[in-house]
Amino acid sequence: MRKWNIFYFAVLPLLMFFLYKLNQLVSLSHTEFYGEAEAKQIEININQDILVTQILIERGVKVKKGDLLMKVQNMEVEENIQQVNIGLDGLDAEKVLEKSEIEAKILELIQKKQTELATLETKYNTAKSEAEFYKELAGIKENDKTTSHPSYALLNALEAEMRKISDDYDRQISHYKRSITTVDNANWKYDQLNQKKSFLLNSKKYFDIVAPHDGIIGNINVKEGEHIKAHVSLVSFMETHPTFVKAYIQEKHKVRLSLGDTVLVKSVYNGEKEVKGIISAVGHRVIEIPEKFLKIPSMKLYGIEVFIKMSENDFFQNQIVTVNPWSSQK
């Protein structure tokens, strides 16, 4: 009886301590869970229908911010540019003479008109003087309509010629004055079309698909010569290094996590790769855990998602990692 008491007081406490430590170890193992390091991925698209003319990248290639990824065309813009060019060619035909040239031409016509009329007026005055002298010699009264003298025929001819010359020059001058208005309108239209063309040419730059930041090319979803509808993904683009971890906690394990908790993220196969992370989101529904995280693939397990934002790191895309919420306190 005494021996049993010694065993009871000496061995049993050791056994209880061992069970406590074992339970603590098992509980600790449940605090660690698996996840996958992922880089933020964006889909590059454009909000207009386009034609892919040239693809300059390949999947998996590293690019820098601003690098040209592909060239595309918007057929509507190209057609508008063509229509503007046709309009400009038409206006060039209307703008045969500049406004200053037309004004100079009008002044030239006015001067010619004045010169020719002055010459005829001199002849007219001479013929008129001769006609009046004839009337005095012949004793013809002032109101007598007799025009037998040649001077009277010459006067009539000179008057008709002056009217004709004046009318001819007036028509030409009116034509050129109307041309000034036409040129003014053509100049205004020309300026408007040039502004539209500049806008369209500048808008073509919008259709150069460039890298939004340093990163890696993912899927290329289009081919050269393919017509693509607006908002359809052209290429997927990932950051150079993973920025977050998507991890899974089995539903049977009770792990208390709160937003903002600090955790330690470590590579499963390379323990030297580790980085601190912050819990950024915790799922509120149970989902099936991906097969890659199962020890026995045929046995389905369920749990919740946990998202962890990581600081700068050298993990690979889709690298398997472990997450330990308590390791930051060690």
pLDDT score at 14: 67
Question: Does 24 reside within a domain?
Answer: no
Q: What is the pTM of this model?
A: 0.47
| Pair 88, 186 in one domain | yes
| Under 8 Å between Cβ of 85 and 200 | no
Least confident of 49-63, 190-204, 237-251: 190-204
In a domain, 2, yes or no: no
Within a domain: 181:
yes
Do 200 and 249 fall into the same domain?
A: no
Predicted confidence (pLDDT) per residue in 305-322, tens digit: 999 999 888 888 888 998
Verify that 261 and 319 share a domain, yes or no. yes
Residue 264 is assigned to a structural domain of this protein? yes
Taking CA atoms, 245 is separated from 117, 213, 316, 323, in Å, by 99, 21, 11, 9
49-96 pLDDT tens trace: 888 989 999 998 999 999 999 988 876 767 777 777 777 676 665 555
Which residue range(s) make up the domain with 158?
80-205
Dist. CA 257–CA 10, nearest whole Å: 40
Domains: count for the chain: 2
Element (H, E) at 197: helix 150-205
CATH of the domain at 249: 2.40.30.170
Tell me whether residue 75 is in a domain. Answer: no
Host H or E run for residue 54: strand 50-55
181 and 136 together in one domain: yes
User: 290: which DSSP letter?
Assistant: P
pLDDT digits (tens, 9 = 90+) for 251-269: 877 777 788 899 999 988 8
Q: Tell whether 173 is covered by a domain.
A: yes
Q: Does a structural domain hold residue 1?
A: no
Instruction: Give yes or no for residue 112 having a pLDDT over 60.
Output: yes
pLDDT in tens, 30-40: 567 889 998 88
Per cent of the chain over pLDDT 70 is: 75
**Burial status of residue 283 (CB atoms within 10 A of its CB: 0-12, 13-18, 19 or more):** middle
Q: Residue 58's pLDDT is what?
A: 92
Element (H, E) at 145: none
